[in-house]
Structure formats: structure tokens, C-alpha cells
Amino acid sequence: MTTTFPSPRVAGIPIKRKRIESIDLLRGIVMIIMALDHTRDYFHRVAFVYSPTDLSHTSPAIFFTRFITHYCAPIFVFLAGVSAYLYGSKKSKSALRRFLITRGIWLVFVEVFIISLFRSFNPLYPFISLQVIWAIGICMIVLAAFINVPRQWILFISLAIIFGHNLLDAIHLSGNGVWAVLWALVHDENHFTVGSHTFFVHYPVLPWIGIMLAGYYVGYFYTLQYNAAKRKKILLVTGISAISLFLLLRSGNFYGDADHWWVQKNTMFTILSFFNVTKYPPSLLYTLITLGPGLIFLHIAESASFDFTQGRLFRISQAIKCFGRVPMFYYLAHILLIHIFALIAAWLSGYTFGSMFLHGPVYMEPALKGYGFPLIVVYVVWLLVVVLLYPLCKIFDRYKMENGQRTWWLSYV
């Protein structure tokens, strides 16, 4: 696949920006997979009973349906860092800082007020989940403070966070006090009740900051002046090294995840235990086993051996890249569409429409006791969601390409 790059200015006149297709392809893939996890939340019967990674109840099919979606958030955040660097390579430092801060604030607003409403359909906002969009927003605000820092220091700081934050795993603060809330926002998944509202902090931001800083560092490798062969080699070597380090550290439960693996009742469940790494917050081992394959994919997607130039694979790759070019639009649309489908499914199953106007996470809703469908239904609904979203994303993608240079707000969607 040929990788194209943002074009420089010629005689002070900006040339229309070209996309980096390997990044769009990878982002599109993780966006599609992301919809699977959210569909499972609203449709899978056992999602209301136990966690898909609970080895005392789960099955291999349920476990890996959840595990494959682990790749979405870290790659999404990492590529956001890459994109931030590329955006800044065509702007002044002050313009980049202003963009990162304003877009970061916007993303936090979107998570709290728009996505929370799409998840619950409850305008009273009884619960607010701080998830990946919130994390990206905070990471962008933090990144704004680093754009004048030398790249080598950014790399050092990002690795120090990614490798070192698990040293904080044993620190937990209880209660609804200010320090407990702040610590949850930084590193300890928790939930808090304020009046009639409950805040679920699913994405403590510290490790995600490390991942975005790493992506920002890698963004330089995608600039015009950087050698493509060297870039691909770095991506491949780093990806293989990350997976190798994961296997080494995980094999002896040496470091990098508070939840150790153990020999289980059979070989398959022992494998499940080995890969049952911690996402909230993302442990070092979680980060290694997700970003490692992601970096290798970027290498492969840019190589001649992965050249989609004709036929069905070409059309599929173009559709996937369409999703990757409009990730925010896709994210908002897929949450809304999945919840609408779940509302219809609940009604057809004998529940009232009001049962899908939630007072907490869908799997905790008392009015939905007994609701849900087999895993195969989850996959069918997921594919239906993706198929229906494609024409909408294609229309928005075309509008964005035609108007992005003169319509400022499109860079925020």
C-alpha cells in the first residue's frame, strides 16, 4: 500500500493535505472492532451476568470477543498522538497548542454531555462514564504542555510513564473525597456519587498520557523528511520487541500487571489466563501486547506485499480507510445506533421502551433483568451496524475532504 503524506507549503501557499493511508487503515480497523465491544455491552446475555474475562464463568469465544477489542483504545490514543504531531508539522507551535487545548476541552465536553446521553438516553444524566474520548481530550491538553520539549525527552517521559506507572498499582484511596477523586482520575479506576449523579472513571489518564506522548514522538517518522525504509524498520523492530518483552515479563509474572496468570483447568483456559491483562488502567503488559502488533501492522500496511490495488480487497480497504478518516463522527454515530437497536430489541423481547432509558451502565439496569441474546446475535448486529454506518461515514468523509480547508469546525469532528 502506498503511503501518502501531508504536503508542505509552496511559496507560502498551503497545498491540500494528503492522508497517510496506513494510519487510516489501522484506525479504521480498530474503529470497526470497537463497535463489536459496544454491541456486546447492549446485546449479549451474559454481559448482564459476568465479565467476559472472568475465567470462572467465561468461554474462549466470549473471552476473545472481548480481548480483540483491547486493541482499540491504545491504538486509537497512540494514533491520536501521531496525528497531533503531523498536524503541528504544518502549523506554528502556538497554533498547535491552541488546537490541542481547545480540541481537548471539546472532547471532554463530548464525553460528558453527548456520549453519556447516547449511552443512557436519559436527559437527567444519572450516570456519566469517563472513557476513551475523555482520556484523549485530557491527553491532548497535557500534550499541549510538551510541544516545546525536545523529542528525546518526550520519548523518555512517555516510556517512564508506560513502564513505571504499575508501581502505583497498590495505592487506592476510598471514599468520595477530593484526593480519592483526583487519584481515580489519574490512576485508579473508581466511581463516585455526587447528588443524583454517578461518575464512573473507567479511563484514569496517566498511562494514556504516556501512550499519546509515544504516538506524538513517532509522528516525526511520518514526516516528509524522514526515510521511509528506516521508518518501516523501526516500526517492525519496535513491534517485535514489544511482543517479546510482553512474553518475557508475563511468563514469570515478573512485572507489568497486577493480575498474574496461573495454570487453569485445561490448556485453553491457561492461555486465557496468560492473556488476561489489565485494561483499567492499561498495564504495561496490556500496552505491549496491543501496541506491539499495531506497530507491526503499520509496517506491513506500508510494504509492497500488502498492496491493495484492485479487486474486492481494494474495495474493502477503501471502506475501512473511510472509517479511519472520520473517527469522531463514526464513534458518536455507532454509540447512538447501537443503543437505538438495543431499544428496539428490548421492546421486541417484551420490555418497555423505558427500560432502555438507563439509570446506570446497561449491564446494571434492574429493568433489563433477563434481557439479552446469544453471542452469534451480537456478531450479526455488529455487522449490521458497521454496514449501515458506512454510507453515512462516506458522505461525511466526502464533505470533510471538500470543505476541510475552509471550515474550521471539521477538524474537531
**Grid coordinates given for 403:** 470543505
Whether 1 maps to a domain, the answer reads no
Considering only 39-43, 179-183, 358-362, 404-408, which range has the smallest mean pLDDT?
Answer: 404-408
Which of 111, 106, 190, 97 shows the shortest CA–CA distance to 142?
97
Contact present, 358 and 127 (Cβ < 8 Å): yes
DSSP string, 55-74: TTT--HHHHHHHHGGGGHHH
Confidence of residue 69 (pLDDT cuts 50, 70, 90): very high
Percent of the chain with pLDDT strictly greater than 90: 86
Whether 361 maps to a domain, the answer reads yes
Residues in contact with 270: Cβ distance below 8 Å, sequence separation at least 6, in sequence order: 261, 262, 263, 264
Q: Examine residue 281 and say whether the peptide bond preceding it is cis (omega within 30 degrees of 0).
A: yes
> For residue range 147-187, what is the model confidence (pLDDT) as tens digits?
999 999 999 999 999 999 999 999 999 888 999 999 999 99
Q: Tell me the C-alpha distance between 315 and 308, whole Å.
A: 8
Beta bridge partners of 129: 200
Element (H, E) at 313: helix 311-325
Strands 13-14 and 127-130, sheet pairing: unpaired
Identity of the residue numbered 215: G
- Expressed as residue numbers, the domain containing 187 is 9-412
The number of domains in the chain is: 1
SS3 at position 373 = strand
Residue that has been written with the C-alpha cell 473471552 in this structure: 63
Confidence of residue 359 (pLDDT cuts 50, 70, 90): very high
Average pLDDT over residues 385-398: 97
Element (H, E) at 380: helix 375-403
Q: Whole-number mean pLDDT of the chain? A: 92
Confidence of residue 18 (pLDDT cuts 50, 70, 90): low
Residue 76 has pLDDT above 90, yes or no: yes
Average pLDDT over residues 273-284: 98
Contact present, 188 and 204 (Cβ < 8 Å): yes
Note the pTM of the prediction, 2 decimals. Answer: 0.93
Whether 88 maps to a domain, the answer reads yes
409: number of Cβ within 10 Å = 9
SS3 at position 154 = helix
Whether 4 maps to a domain, the answer reads no
Q: Tell me the C-alpha distance between 357 and 205, whole Å.
A: 29
Contact present, 159 and 212 (Cβ < 8 Å): no
Which strands form 190-194's sheet, in the order they lie side by side? Answer: 127-130, 197-201, 190-194
Considering only 13-22, 117-126, 154-163, 399-408, which range has the smallest mean pLDDT?
Answer: 13-22
Confidence (pLDDT) at 410: 80
Rounded to the nearest 5 degrees, what angle is found at the Cα of 145, between the Cα atoms of 139 and 151? 95
Percent of the chain with pLDDT strictly greater than 70: 94
**Grid coordinates given for 144:** 499541549
Residue 96 has pLDDT above 90, yes or no: yes
Whether 3 maps to a domain, the answer reads no
Whether 64 maps to a domain, the answer reads yes
Residue 312 has pLDDT above 80, yes or no: no
How would you classify residue 370: left for phi > 0, otherwise alpha for psi between -120 and 50, otherwise beta?
left
Residue that has been written with the C-alpha cell 439496569 in this structure: 365
Higher pLDDT, 53 or 2: 53
